[in-house]
């Protein structure tokens, strides 16, 4: 069974996405801030990381960079999630090689598609991935 690491500081969102992911058949690990996100990733070695950009103790981009620099997690696909419509966020996500970028609120289909794509077609990084994830 594949594991998804959900990094999100809001408890309710974590709960909602957690229920949804479990119903899709994934094992779910969670972390609520930047530091424990990296620790959790090293511990449970997830198949994909769902990473909120707004985090206490450092933003999602920092976490992504850290994960990419560690051997155990450097190949783990990352999906960024955010509530913000700030321009430039998506660009930065792409530059970091994220598989997808989801804007809250997103629906179950978008989430499922993004995760499937990251698990089974990780080479399809880039613009196309971004488009379909919208």
The residues binding another protein (CB under 8 A) are 10, 12-13, 15-17, 19-20, 23, 54, 83-87, 104-108, 131, 134
Q: Compute φ and ψ for 108, nearest 5 degrees.
A: -55, -40
| Least Å from the CB of residue 84 to another protein | 6
Task: Compare residues 76 and 90 and give the one whose CB is closer to another protein.
Answer: 90
**Rg (alpha carbons) of the chain, rounded to whole number:** 13
Task: Compare residues 99 and 102 and give the one whose CB is closer to another protein.
Answer: 102
Task: Compare residues 12 and 123 and give the one whose CB is closer to another protein.
Answer: 12
- The H-or-E segment that residue 31 falls in is strand 27-31
Contact 54, 60 (CB under 8 A): yes
| Least Å from the CB of residue 87 to another protein | 6
| Least Å from the CB of residue 108 to another protein | 6
- The H-or-E segment that residue 17 falls in is helix 11-23
| Least Å from the CB of residue 128 to another protein | 10
Which of 32, 8, 31 has its CA nearest to residue 82? 8
């Amino acid at each position: 069974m594949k594991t998804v690491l959900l990094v999100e500081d809001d408890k309710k969102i974590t709960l909602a996405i957690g229920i949804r992911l479990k119903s899709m058949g994934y094992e779910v690990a969670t972390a609520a801030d930047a530091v424990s996100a990296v620790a959790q990733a090293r511990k449970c070695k997830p198949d994909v990381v769902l990473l909120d950009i707004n985090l206490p103790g450092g933003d999602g981009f920092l976490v992504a960079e850290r994960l990419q620099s560690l051997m155990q997690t450097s190949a783990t696909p990352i999906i960024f999630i955010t509530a913000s419509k700030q321009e430039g966020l998506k660009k930065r996500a792409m530059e970091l090689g994220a598989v997808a970028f989801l804007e809250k609120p997103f629906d179950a289909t978008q989430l499922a598609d993004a995760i499937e794509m990251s698990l089974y077609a990780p080479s399809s990084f880039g613009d196309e991935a971004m488009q379909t994830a919208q």
